Amino acid sequence: MSDLDLIPAGHTFTAQEITVFADSEHRTLDEAIAEADVLVSCPHAGARIPEELVPFLSPALTRRMQYDFTDVATDAIVREWARNDRRIVAVINPHPRLVRDPNRARPADIAADLTTAIERTRAAGPWQKVDLSGVDAIRPVTFSFFPILEVPTDDAERDRLVHTFVEVGERGLGVYERTRDDLTERFVAEKLRTGGRFTRLSFHDTMNTTTTSDGAVNVARAPEDRLPAVVALSNRGDTRGDERDPADPPTMDPERLRALADAHRAGFRVDRPDAVALNTPYLGSQEIRAAGARFRELAPQAAGAALTLDAVQAEFLREYLLGPAAVEELHRPGTDWIREDPAHVHDVAEACQRAWDLYRAL
């Protein structure tokens, strides 16, 4: 566990540290918002673990396991994109989802939910499948059921763990959530004044294989859980983006989602149309659901201002974001993470910008 990547104890992130936009040396954030029409959020980009949590981590946790339980590839790509595209602003969560998942509804009682998750994990036993439905904002195990936390058997230690997670979370992911929501409202206020278009984009990645106990990320997911070759774009609708459930309306207009998919097929220069899919295998989670609900509240004002409001989730295939050399390394047993290829990061970021430029032109 000595090779884990840690955030020094006591560090509190600022909004400025986690907000990225082009030409920040010469432009203010307000100027960036005025020029941009997309706010990109990366809720799972953080990988470094706050040092305060080390006493509660499983001694078997490796750097590879640490990074695999995140969407860390999205960090470098979105930063590169945001630094070079004046039409977007990005906000990047500095904490790993281990602390708490901001793409889940914030629990009314974080301590109670974490306690329940720990109790279920303890009852299931190490490496055993456990149902964390309803309490998975903080997971004591990965999606491969690798134990991230050393679950305390002593009630006092469990209470200390819960308190530490709640307290530490406010220094990073809490800052992320507040910054994301503040930026959303600042964008809305600006665009209600000017009209046009504003899109919330929640940016993620998932690998089509999961991890074994020796660190090899090479266990194929079930076919129904696999991502397409490049990206799944989600608006809570069906596979065409149309309404799936009247109680769960699309967060992005279906026609615009289909146009965005076509723009991604062209921007990423795919060989097959199904490399970009809609709402498959994921419908989109809390970030776009919350944004969609907020935008529905604003619909009368937006109509009066000739403003289009949308929220969409992009779930990229991690293999695509990392590149073949990195994937080959991760398929082998190991304890370390890969080194990102700056040229590949630049190419993917450039494709993101190209896709959104094409979408704007449609």
In a domain, 132, yes or no: no
Q: Which residues of the chain register pLDDT less than 70?
A: 1-2
Q: Is 113 exposed, middle or buried (0-12, 13-18, 19+ CB in 10 A)?
A: buried
CATH for 341: 3.40.630
In a domain, 253, yes or no: yes
In a domain, 329, yes or no: yes
In a domain, 207, yes or no: yes
pLDDT over 90, % of the chain? 80
Cis peptide before 281 (omega within 30 of 0): yes
Q: 110-159, pLDDT tens digit by residue?
A: 778 878 888 888 788 777 888 888 888 888 888 788 888 887 778 888 88
In a domain, 115, yes or no: no
Provide the CB-side half-sphere exposure for 352 (13 A, CA): 33
Number of domains into which the chain is organized? 1
- What is the C-alpha separation between 250 and 235, in angstroms, rounded? 5
- What is the C-alpha separation between 8 and 338, in angstroms, rounded? 22
In a domain, 135, yes or no: no
CA distances from 227 to 71, 218, 220, 255, 328 (A): 14, 15, 11, 22, 18
Quote the domain boundaries for residue 278.
Answer: 6-101+169-361
In a domain, 284, yes or no: yes
Residue 110 has what DSSP assignment? H
How confident is the model at residue 124, as a pLDDT?
Answer: 83
CA distances from 279 to 53, 210, 226, 235, 242 (A): 35, 21, 12, 7, 10
In a domain, 46, yes or no: yes
